[in-house]
Amino acid sequence: MSELLGGSPIVFVGLTFVLMGFAAFMTGQATANTWKPAWHAVMYSLLLAFVDRFLNFALFDGELFSISGYLVDAAVLTLFALFAYRLTQARKMVSQYPWLYRPAGLFGWRRRDEE
């Protein structure tokens, strides 16, 4: 497992899920709040994965140039960012245009005239 992650699984959970996951979540929210397209959140999360790799290397003696570790980190952080992006986008559409849209689940909205 350590070879796949490029470091310890405990460090992966703490650094990638907790610290960088929070950063990716906030990045997804900020991207949606400024009405940018979703691919911006993906690009920012790929950059956050580089930061995650570096922190893993510098603080916890992990592998810096682990391709599989970077891909796993990037996938996890992209999921966090896109989750926050869609959640924020749905909330904004319903709150800013209440006469047009109503909530349709956690990630969606529906036109008011569609019943």
CA distance 58 to 97: 46
Residue 78 sits at the vertex; the CA angle it makes with 98 and 23, to the nearest 5 degrees, is 80
| Mean residue pLDDT across the chain | 93
Residue pLDDT, tens place only, 1-20: 877 888 889 999 999 999 99
Residue 52 has pLDDT above 80, yes or no: yes
Helix (H, G, I), strand (E, B) or coil at 52: helix
Which residues partner with 103 through β-bridges?
109
Q: What does the block give as tokens for 26?
A: 């906030």
